[in-house]
């Protein structure tokens, strides 16, 4: 027995090819992803002419993965900064409370 397929199918065009993408996310989201991939592939194609589509797709995937890894690292750094500042604020509040209790 086949499992019920979930999500909505959205047709998108990426680098001169049409794809039917099934996703639980809305069509706008899928279209936005496809536009990003298409734009990246076209940018790479323009920068490196005479490269076949498969290589362009691999280079685009690497470029997008690099962007993702950089964003993930930046988010992790920001989270750590927020935690550090939160700990400092708690320490300052505790010191102020101790000083207020001592007076």
Mean pLDDT across 5-20:
94
Q: How far is CA 34 from CA 27, 37, 92, in A?
A: 10, 5, 48
State yes or no: pLDDT of 1 exceeds 90: no
**Model's pTM, two decimal places?**
0.76
pLDDT tens digits, residue range 26-68?
999 999 999 999 999 999 999 998 789 999 999 999 999 999 9
Cα dihedral 20, 26, 27, 33, rounded to 10, equals -80
As a whole number of angstroms, the distance between CA 49 and CA 54 comes to 13
pLDDT tens digits, residue range 60-100?
999 999 999 999 999 999 999 999 999 999 999 999 988 87
């Amino acid at each position: 027995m086949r499992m019920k397929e979930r999500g909505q199918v959205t047709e998108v065009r990426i680098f001169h090819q049409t794809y039917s993408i099934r996703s639980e996310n809305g069509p706008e989201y899928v279209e936005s992803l496809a536009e990003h991939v298409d734009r990246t592939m076209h940018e790479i194609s323009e920068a490196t002419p005479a490269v076949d589509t498969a290589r362009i797709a691999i280079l685009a995937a690497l470029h997008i993965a690099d962007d993702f890894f950089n964003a993930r690292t930046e988010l992790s750094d920001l989270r750590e900064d927020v935690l550090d500042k939160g700990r400092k604020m708690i320490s300052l509040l505790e010191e102020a409370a101790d000083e207020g209790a001592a007076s």
